Structure 1
Amino acid sequence: MVNKLEAKLKKQQEAIRDEALIDRNAMLYFKSSKELGEDESNCKDSDLYLQGLEETRRDALTGRSGVDYVNLCQEAGIGGDDCEAPDLYQQGLVDVIQEETSSARLDRQLSTLETQVSALKKSGNQRKKAIDFLKAVDDYGVNVYGSFAADADSKRELLLEHFPGRFGAGRKQDLSRYDDVQVGAMFRNIVSGYEKRYSQ
């Protein structure tokens, strides 16, 4: 759907550019060529493009748009000392730097937000996993706080079912290496930790 919309938009932009070329409307040709990612080297009419660049640059000068003026002067190969309005050019440079700084700050903030969203999703997944485990413990009717060795087979089964990456065969805490009391102690620690953290 997005690709279709992008293709349709591109066709519309190309139609505007081509109409501007036919009408010899330099500013419109320049702006529509820029929107299509074209420049002097790869546009259909480089003379009309350069004419549009100059008209757009002068329009930015008249409108006192410093950022546009700087960018257009730079594209035209005109430095700050060679332009008609060095003061506007200098102010435009300051504004460009501020925009870049703001953009960098926004990029950092966006990155921080993405990290926070990821952490929240992970936290939500951990919470769901914990609640599912506690519900299964309750459904099994496992004796959590009695003897460590009580219901050892059910405890093993629940640990393997809910934490296969930790307690499975050959894993960090392969349950086959532990006796019933040790399994019961691990089980109780996990249950009590989850209850403290996630029970309401």
Structure 2
Amino acid sequence: MGDPVKVLVVDDHAMFRVGVKAELQSAAAGAVVDVVAEAADVDEAVARIAETAPDVVLLDVHLPGGGGVEVMRRVHAAMPGGAPRFLALSVSDAAEDVIGTIRGGARGYVTKTITGPELVDAIRRVADGDAVFSPRLAGFVLDAFAGSIQVAAVDEDLDRLTEREREVMRLIARGYAYKEVAKELFISTKTVETHMSSVLRKLQLSSRHELTKWASDRRLL
């Protein structure tokens, strides 16, 4: 099987990083992957990559300091030809996140519903040079490069929202209750309510129903 794949886990939620590390260690028993470091934001991720030289970086899309795409941009600029491979692991399965991350340099994109053994397999495949996607997400990539998804138009609308507002917007539009969104994003219910009010105001919408239709029309669900 060869040496374990060295993995860096990048996510701004400490509890999630701990959970991923435990899941990988349990599923792989240390023989297939080795989590060598963690990072919580863009600057820390870039520094840890330089320090630990991982084979694969498990990268969240939305991070303080510029997001996963900014991590890849800075690493590829600093390490041309020697950068690790990037596998996005995100709660978001929105088309513009998937496409933007792949265009930014990721070799794959999987959602946080993935199981431990599936994630170990995805990491190993990316390390070997394969491109790996959760099944539904592969269609987004094919559609985008075939020209049937107008990513620029979607981005123009979403530019009004902060990264956290985008996360709240997608979950609410999918039918999550405020308490469920709070649990998913590790924030308070009151904070969810504040973000939701801001989302509706910025998008000039008046209700949750209108938000769901808005998101559905833009293939964000």
Same fold? TM cut 0.5: no
Structure with bigger RCO (C-alpha 8 Å, 6+ apart) = 2
- Greater helix share, 1 or 2? 1
Bigger share in strand: 2
Normalised by the length of structure 2, the TM-score is 0.25
TM-score by length of 1: 0.26
Larger-gyration structure (1/2) = 1
